Amino acid sequence: MEGTRAAILAPVKSKAPQRDRKRRVRGSVRKGGVSQNGTTSPHGERTSVRERGLESSLEVLKPSLLSKELGERVGEKERARGAEVSPEGEEGLGSWDMNSQDEEVAQQEKGKDGTVAGINVECRICGDKASGFHYGVHACEGCKGFFRRTIRMKLEYERCERSCKIQKKSRNKCQYCRFQKCLLLGMSHDAIRYGRMPEAEKRKLVAGLLAGERAPTINPNGSDLKSLAKRPFVIHDMDSLCQAENGLVWKQLINGTPPNKEIGVHVFYRCQCTTVETVRELTEFAKSIPGFVDLFLNDQVTLLKYGVHEAIFAMLPSLMNKDGLLVANGKGFVTREFLRSLRRPFSEIMEPKFEFAVKFNALELDDSDLALFVAAIILCGDRPGLINIMQVEEIQDSILQALDQHLLANHADSKYLFPKLLNKMADLRQLVTENGMLVQKIKKTESETSLHPLLQEIYKDMY
């Protein structure tokens, strides 16, 4: 996961779930799941040598991940920045920068009844209820997420000449006209703004609403439409990969460039670089989840050890479509066909992730949905070696309850989205198990490959 992370894990006000609800949710998560070691999870184990080894070996990394500082409580300033307090005095679910930098505005401007600054505001794109001021326009969560994905993935939709009418119930039928309408009404990544809505703009909005102002009919062929940003550099063979290496800024964890080895080995190295960087970011995210830093240090290490890859594979689809994967902060686009063309076993690394991503992206999650989902993945009470299982399960239950209510509020038309996400947790476990076995196979059969020390510790004794 490269690039800025800017999604806010917004606090969701909810009553404490009842015991039978907790057991039912936990059971549904586990029933379809696959234990990381292929056996029944040994609940209640004491700290093992491998967990202590992971904790100590990572102290050499800067910033360190699961070192002693992981066990320290988050300072008051960090808590004030990363978590909000609900009216009842309970901690919210914190915040995490992941994608959209204007979520703070939506939270500030949203009234108690979900209106913006006390005004009944419709989404300028589809007419649904606006959740805030996103990318320069009052928009609902669905249109905000649609615009963000289109810009980030540099997507181009099949041209439509019909000037389709974009409404709440039909907004997903024509993506081309929907995006053109977003542009026509002024949505732009450059329009991100922090702070409350200016009074002048609020008065203008009220005047427009009173005058019955409505969005104009869009002309897809109009000359006033903004164009997309420059497309990323496409990596489709070894030559284009070498050009990308010379022209793009890649995050590297090892000094200098990787040895001039076979292309499959080279791609394997790049995957490791991205994975290790994301593990670091996920560690900081985990520390912002209320209750995580209150756990035993052993349990924090264990949850990260077994949960980071599931979380990574849940976040990866936001950088993928059916044709390829964004890399280097969106500056490069590696085609799926190129990755398929690598010799086995390297060609098998990314293909299962593409298959998962296509199905996962169909759920159309926004940043706050995904952040809650990732938090629920990390705080999973059936990880091998946990000491205080009940404490972990209670934290996960509160997150799942918040996720359930959040989905009901923001995806009213998708009433089965929550159980679908629970099934995705099981799919992610299977994906991680298969990936771990493939990595071990590559490590044993490919003499030129090496595994980063952090990943060695994570995979140790898991498969």
CA atoms within 13 A on the CB side of 105: 22
Residues ≥6 apart with Cβ < 8 Å to 198: none
Residues ≥6 apart with Cβ < 8 Å to 1: 274, 277, 278, 281, 312, 315, 316, 318, 319
Side chain identity at residue 337, one-letter code: E
CATH tag for 19-97+231-459 (out of 2.60.120.1440, 1.20.1440.230, 3.40.1190.20, 1.10.565.10) = 1.10.565.10
pLDDT, residue 200, reads 54
Residues ≥6 apart with Cβ < 8 Å to 221: 161
pLDDT tens digit sequence for 354-397? 999 999 999 988 888 999 999 999 999 999 989 999 999 999 99
Regarding beta strands 233-235 and 332-335, do their DSSP bridges make them parallel or antiparallel, or are they unpaired?
parallel
pLDDT, residue 235, reads 79
pLDDT, residue 374, reads 94
Side chain identity at residue 207, one-letter code: A
The domain 103-210 having CATH identifier 2.20.25.90: the answer here is: no
Q: How far is CA 411 from the centre of its chain?
A: 17
pLDDT, residue 169, reads 82
Q: What are the sequence ranges of the domains in the chain?
A: 19-97+231-459, 103-210
pLDDT, residue 71, reads 43
Q: How far is CA 244 from the centre of its chain?
A: 25
pLDDT, residue 449, reads 77
Q: Which helix (H) or strand (E) is 209 found in, with range?
A: helix 199-210
The β-bridge partners of 122 are 129
pLDDT tens digit sequence for 325-362? 888 777 778 888 888 888 888 888 899 999 999 999 99
Positions of the chain with pLDDT under 50: 1-25, 28, 30-69, 71-119, 192-198, 201-202, 205-206, 208-230, 249-259
